[in-house]
Structure 1
Amino acid sequence: MTFTIQEVLERVAGILEEENGLRDSLEQIRGMYGMGSEQAWPAGVRILKAAPEHVDKALGSRYPAVSLFCDRVRSRPTEKLRRFSGEVQLSVEVRVSQDRLEGITEKLHYYSDAVRDVLERNRGCIGPGLYLSEETAVQIDPVKKGGSFYLQSSRVMCTVIVNRE
């Protein structure tokens, strides 16, 4: 059986949304960032790759926002008798917005670290023939206009190794 990109995306989205997922990580690291209990929870994980202005226009703006998308699928025929052997590179994009510059980057780091924590805690087998790699990378983008005056985003990148018969 081969795999679909959607299958990989839904599995990783499920990991982020499950009981010990993103909300649990946000609770655990709240004290390290000095965040109060008034911090907003992300509405959920959207499987979507779109510019913030298009998302705000089409779906309305709610921040923080978490989106998941596939960056690349790479076939690596290292295992000869497999139908597919390779990797899927995913990105989890975190967007925060507020009306002041002060604290926006710290808030982004808080949510990005929580996403990274979930991915690191769930390394290994995440489904039949799907393995979440130990490597993650975080890219922080500069603040720009958007959302509620100011918008900043980051991408937490990870790799899912796929080996299917």
Structure 2
Amino acid sequence: MCLSALARLLPLAGGPVVVGCAAGIDAAVRRAVPSASVVSASAFGTGRGALAARSVAVVRRVAAAGVSGGPPPVWVSLPGRACPVGLAPSPSASACFSGRGSGSWASLALAVGLGVPAVVFLPPSVAAPAGWAFQPLGRFAGGSFWMVPAGGASPSLFGSAAV
């Protein structure tokens, strides 16, 4: 259900769509938006480092769209498992992609850290991470949609949370 809704909404976005070369969600986006700009991991070598470099490149391209005068960018994320412990939004790629094991969450952390607001779909078994300023948009039997504002950290008693 989430993939079909995503496939119907993306062409209506009005701005460029940037996507990675992975199977799953990336492949569904490529089918729904044939004009999408595809960033391939093979451009960065092989192995996990190439996958992380591809993801960083996708996030940076989306973030750059926000300063180019076009429609404001929005990061869309559909992580299938809980956020790794210790991961928080940050503008630093090395802080986000530090071997915690989830490219979806690392990409989301970088996008939000770079100032790109995000819409996130979480399955029922996955809770929104504490400290990320997730705001509920709607729930249904298949999961829930959340918005994460640019910056993505909840304020603490002592000012802004460290990212």
Return the TM-score normalized by structure 2.
Answer: 0.30
Structure number with larger C-alpha Rg: 1
Q: Which structure has more strand as a fraction of its residues? A: 1
Provide TM-score, normalisation by structure 1: 0.30
